[in-house]
Amino acid sequence: MRILLDAHPWINCGAEPIYPIRVLNMRKQLEMTNRDWGIQANLYPVAIDRATKAYIRELAVNMVDPTQIYCLKQPLMFEYLDVLAKLFPTAKFVHIVRDGRATVVSSITRRIVKPMHPVQALRIWDDAVRRELQFCQNVGRQRCYTIFYEKLVISAEKELRKLLGTGLVRVLLDSHPMINCGAEPIYSMHVLALREDIKESSKDWLIKANIYPKAIDQATKAFIRELAVNMVDKAPIYCQKQPLLFRHLNYLAALFPEAKFVHVLRDGRAAIASTIDWGPCPMMSVKKCLFSFLSYRRKIYPGLTHENPHTALQIWDKTVRQMLVDCQDLGPQRCYTIVYEKLVLYPEQELQKLLGKCHTKRFLEVPWDPIVLKHETILNNLSYLNPYEASTKQFSRKINTDSLSKWASSESILPDWFKAQAVDYSSLLHELEYDKVGVPPDYSKLPEVLPHIR
């Protein structure tokens, strides 16, 4: 789970630290055995709590590079969940539950616990996990989420939280007879994260072992290529749709010198409306709740809610600005930005720019085929539409404008004050002239040519 979270560009999880446990235990001992003395010394509770909080926070922040979200992976910290929940009121907790029999075998084999009879070890597991589950329930679904390890392993196709709109482009491209786009892969991100995680401190060893850079780069390239090719039927052109791959645009461009990249740009207000926290999962099975959590609710950042959409918009501004800059730097021959709203309003015009009309070749250098305007008529021929992808159910309909103004409607999760003031929180909205479309939006007012972004 730590690796899955760490693969996200907004999350950094450091190595498993033991020191927070020691500090939390020290605080616990003060509370249990020296509480009166601590109060008289003005040490308990304010001073010790603030010192403990500062220690844990600084450890989490300084173990990794600067990021939007920091995480600590340490199973024993769940013993102090009630204290941590109080110290960090905006923090969220992920609780992994694994079959006790497998846990006991792993712990004994790896000598994590002192030698003991398996039955005794299982009883210890039972007691610990029971308390952890109770702690998690007490904190509430808004702040603590339990995942079953076995279901996480079995459910291989985990949806990464994504910006709405890229799925449509994937289906339109896939409807072209020369292009095959498979379902959205998560494993490409994992392999790229492995490559990115190579630290300066380990490079010398990797160079001497003849692993870095050539071997690891070629292995990464082979993995991504084989994934793209074998997820679909044979085709002249293969594509992968995964928004977060753009984080690695420069590296991918070097690995695949003949590859081309399509960047789908959407109004930041619409994008964040689909990614902010929509509240806790309803009462349902863990599997269904996890599916809802990862797919339909699109919780890219669980700490973001309808109460702080300006924070989400600022994150969108920073992330998309970098994507636009990287795309521009790569050059118009290799990277193309298509505006989602224009694609929906003028699909034939925009797709002709992307693909090509008649015998004229455009960005992707493929002949124009009008079938891309009627993707809903050939759904059975598309490349393995994944029913677990949240956007799949939308593709049974022809291109429509229903989603364009949804963020500005009365049913939108965005508060009215934010709809009116959103452009004040994002300079990128202004630079892209989204501030000129009004509320509700009239996207026909968008400029013909995208401005140069820096």
Looking at every residue in the chain, the average pLDDT score rounds to 77
List, in sequence order, every beta strand (DSSP E) within 93-215.
Answer: 93-97, 144-148, 179-181
Domains, the chain, in order of start with CATH, read 1-148 (3.40.50.300), 168-182+232-445 (3.40.50.300)
Dist. CA 435–CA 30, nearest whole Å: 56
Dist. CA 343–CA 166, nearest whole Å: 11
What pLDDT does residue 110 have? 63
* Phi/psi of residue 12, nearest 5 degrees: -125, 120
Dist. CA 297–CA 107, nearest whole Å: 36
Encoded tokens for 175 = 């409807």
3-state secondary structure of 367: coil
- Whether residue 62 is predicted with pLDDT greater than 90 in this model: the reply is no
Burial string for 367-406 (b: 16+ CB within 10 Å, else e) reads ebbeebeebeeeeeebbebeeebbbbeebeeebeeebbbb
3-state secondary structure of 294: helix
Dist. CA 20–CA 83, nearest whole Å: 12
What pLDDT does residue 398 have? 65
Encoded tokens for 360 = 């004229």
What pLDDT does residue 325 have? 94
Confidence of residue 59 (pLDDT cuts 50, 70, 90): confident
Write down the pTM of the prediction: 0.56
What pLDDT does residue 433 have? 95
Dist. CA 212–CA 232, nearest whole Å: 31
Dist. CA 141–CA 293, nearest whole Å: 11
* Residue-by-residue DSSP string for 405-449: TGGGSTT-SS-HHHHHHGGGG-HHHHHTTGGGSTTTT-GGGS-SS
**How much of the chain, in percent, has pLDDT values that exceed 70?**
76
* Phi/psi of residue 69, nearest 5 degrees: -130, 130
Tokens 């973001």: give the residue: 304
How far lies 303's CA from each of 89, 91, 95, 96, 447, in Å?
11, 8, 17, 20, 34
pLDDT tens for 22-39 read 888 888 888 888 888 878
pLDDT tens for 419-451 read 999 999 999 999 999 999 999 999 999 999 999
Query: If you average pLDDT over residues 66-91, what whole number do you get?
Result: 82
- Whether residue 285 is predicted with pLDDT greater than 80 in this model: the reply is no
